[in-house]
Amino acid sequence: MPGRPQVGTSLWDNLFENQSDETNQSILNEIQRVAGLDPRMQLSDVQLFPQENGMLIQIELVVLPSTDAQRLSIFFDQQSRSASYV
């Protein structure tokens, strides 16, 4: 976001790079950073599943004050450069 670089994410910068441990760690770090900006949620788990044509990211989080974790699965499609819930 112009004028507010701390808002938003740089996730897209890493998603379609060659998959390596360093790239995956950068993606995990960015997800944790962004989730940490919202005091209404607590990140429980993040898993990355590289696919031939993109990446599946599964995020488990708790929306506070609840204690029930919810799973969010997002597929990032390399060909269309889009994301969709699965």
Average per-residue pLDDT for the chain: 85
User: Does 49 score more than 60 pLDDT?
Assistant: yes
Going from the N-terminus, what domains does the chain have, and what CATH number goes with each? 11-85 (3.10.450.40)
Q: How buried is 77 (Cβ within 10 angstroms: 0-12 exposed, 13-18 middle, 19+ buried)? A: middle
pLDDT, tens digit (0-9, with 9 covering 90-100), for 11-40: 777 777 777 889 889 989 989 988 888 899
* CA 40 to the chain's CA centroid: 17
The pair of three-digit structure tokens given for residue 55, joined into one six-digit string: 């990446």
Q: Determine the Cα–Cα distance for residues 82 and 74; give it in Å rounded to an integer.
A: 10
pTM, two decimals, is 0.79
Cis peptide before 65 (omega within 30 of 0): yes
User: Does 6 score more than 90 pLDDT?
Assistant: no
